[in-house]
């Protein structure tokens, strides 16, 4: 952590505030602040929080940098409402936008902002979505099979389960859940939906517990974990959005601007790693005697591989257990 930053007592104000603050403990908060700080100390700095959620990281950034302007994106209208309440003391310095994070270029263009000095992504399902029973993201609570991050649009998880062809369902479970028992699960789903559509998380969990091989039930965590992950990713088009958002974020950065990305499973992290690695390499052929300006890397990596939370962070915030953080700085102007 940055030894020149606030003390633990000062930092604690960011995670123990009003009702919304108490519901949301931001993951790797101090590390994110430390990585972004060198880019945000100048006048008129702009940072994009591409996954605003309940606003924990955004609030800390605005408090730490009094001259900062923050653009917060979220596809969830309820998250935007609650974050707006939390960030009300900074109302003159925020733009909260209902958008998916791969729309970052369009949002900045509409606001007349950019290039920006920082971009932060905290990928995956948010605390709000996990904690609200009616959203259906959790396999541990009875709820409708919804799983839409934006509940105002698009098909639900129930729609996917009840309408997709068996081959498509197998693809979803294998590609997005890395589920080895995908075909067996889909066969059980097809049998069940012939009798009646699957509507609730409890129905799906019961089906999965019966369909999974005994060996799989004994290892690898809850038998529903991978299927719920796969459905959530499919319903929200998450991997496609990430694949578009990370290059767009790099393109939006000013010279010496910084990008920080937190992922929570290997499929997300793989996309982030690929983009950052590609754009931190020399692009000239190996036999090129002299590098042209456009051949130099666009990015310098700020982390060695993916950083993980330490034991103290995980003890304070169990949702940090699977986090992988990567960060980079723009070191070459756009061509």
What value does the mean pLDDT of the chain take?
A: 88
Specify the higher pLDDT residue, 318 or 290. Answer: 318
**5 — pLDDT class (breaks 50, 70, 90):** very low
Q: Residue 74, annotated ligand binder?
A: yes
CB 50 within 8 A of CB 120: yes
101 is in an annotated binding site: yes
Q: Kindly report whether the peptide bond that precedes residue 162 is cis, defined as omega within 30 degrees of 0.
A: no
Calpha distance 76→67 (Å, rounded): 27
Domains along the chain with CATH numbers: 8-128+238-330 (3.40.50.150), 132-236 (1.10.150.170)
Angle between helices 225-236 and 166-177 (to 10 degrees): 100
Angle at which helices 225-236 and 201-211 cross, to 10°: 130
Q: What is the pLDDT of residue 136?
A: 66
User: What stretches of the chain adopt beta strand conformation (E)?
Assistant: 46-49, 69-74, 94-98, 116-122, 253-263, 299-301, 324-330
Average pLDDT of the segment spanning 113-138: 79
SS3 call for 50: coil
Per-residue model confidence (pLDDT) at position 293: 75
**If pLDDT is split at 50, 70 and 90, which confidence band does 202 have?**
very high
Instruction: Give the strand pairing for 69-74 and 46-49.
Output: parallel
Whether the per-residue pLDDT at 9 is higher than 50: the answer is: no
Q: What pLDDT, on the 0 to 100 scale, is given for residue 223?
A: 83
Q: In percent, how much of the chain has pLDDT > 70?
A: 87
What is the pLDDT averaged over residues 257-278? 97
Question: What's the rounded mean pLDDT across residues 33-59?
Answer: 95
Q: Which residues, at least 6 apart from 45, have a Cβ–Cβ distance to it below 8 Å?
A: 39, 65, 67, 68, 69, 117, 118
Measured distance CA(16)–CA(103) in Å, rounded: 31
Is residue 7 very low, low, confident or very high in pLDDT (cuts 50, 70, 90)? very low
- 14 has binding-site annotation: no
Distance CA 112, CA 71 (A): 12
In percent, how much of the chain has pLDDT > 90?
74
Q: Is the pLDDT of residue 230 over 70?
A: yes
* Residue range 113-141: mean pLDDT, rounded: 79
Q: What is the structure's pLDDT at 292?
A: 79
Long-range contacts of 199-203 (CB under 8 A, 24+ apart): 199/144, 199/145, 199/158, 200/136, 200/142, 200/143, 200/144, 200/145, 201/136, 201/138, 201/139, 201/141, 201/142, 201/143, 201/144, 201/145, 201/228, 202/142, 203/145
269 labeled part of a ligand binding site: no
- Say whether 281 counts as a known binding-site residue: no
Is the pLDDT confidence value at 137 over 80?
Answer: no
Q: How many CB atoms lie within 10 A of CB 161?
A: 24
The pLDDT of 219-246, averaged and rounded, is 91
Report pLDDT for 286: 76
Contacts of 283 (CB under 8 A, 6+ apart): 294, 295, 297
**What is the mean predicted confidence (pLDDT) over 318-322?**
92
Q: Tell me whether residue 56 is annotated as binding.
A: yes
Residue 195 is encoded by which pair of tokens? Answer: 């009798």
Q: What is the DSSP pairing of strand 253-263 with strand 116-122? A: parallel
Q: What is the mean pLDDT of residues 161-189?
A: 96
């Amino acid at each position: 952590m940055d030894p020149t930053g606030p003390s633990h007592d000062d930092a604690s104000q960011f995670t123990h505030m009003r009702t919304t603050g108490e519901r949301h403990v931001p993951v790797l908060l101090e590390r994110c602040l430390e990585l972004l700080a060198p880019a945000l100390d100048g006048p008129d700095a702009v940072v994009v929080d591409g996954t605003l959620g309940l606003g924990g990281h955004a609030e800390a950034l605005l408090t730490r940098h009094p001259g900062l302007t923050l653009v917060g994106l979220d596809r969830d209208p309820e998250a935007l409402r609650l974050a707006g309440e939390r960030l009300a003391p900074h109302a003159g310095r925020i733009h909260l936008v209902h958008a998916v994070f791969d729309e970052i270029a369009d949002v900045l263009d509409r606001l007349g902002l950019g290039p920006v000095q920082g971009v932060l992504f905290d990928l995956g399902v948010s605390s709000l979505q996990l904690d609200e029973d009616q959203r259906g993201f959790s396999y541990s609570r009875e709820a409708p099979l919804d799983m839409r991050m934006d509940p105002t649009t698009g098909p639900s998880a129930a729609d996917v389960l009840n309408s997709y062809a068996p081959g498509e369902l197998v693809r979803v479970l294998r590609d997005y859940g890395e589920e080895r028992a995908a075909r067996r699960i889909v066969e059980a789903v097809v049998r069940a939906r012939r009798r009646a559509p699957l509507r609730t998380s409890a129905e799906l969990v019961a089906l999965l517990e019966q369909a999974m091989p005994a060996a799989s039930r004994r290892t690898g965590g809850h038998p529903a974990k991978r299927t719920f992950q796969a459905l959530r990713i499919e319903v929200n088009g998450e991997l496609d959005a990430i694949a578009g958002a990370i290059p767009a974020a790099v393109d939006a950065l000013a010279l010496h601007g910084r990008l920080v990305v937190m992922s929570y499973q290997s499929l997300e992290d793989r996309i982030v790693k690929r983009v950052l690695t590609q754009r931190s390499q020399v692009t000239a052929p190996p036999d090129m005697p002299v590098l042209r300006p456009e051949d130099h890397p666009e990015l310098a990596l700020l982390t060695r591989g993916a950083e993980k939370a330490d034991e103290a962070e995980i003890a304070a915030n169990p949702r940090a257990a699977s986090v992988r953080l990567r960060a980079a700085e723009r070191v070459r102007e756009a061509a």
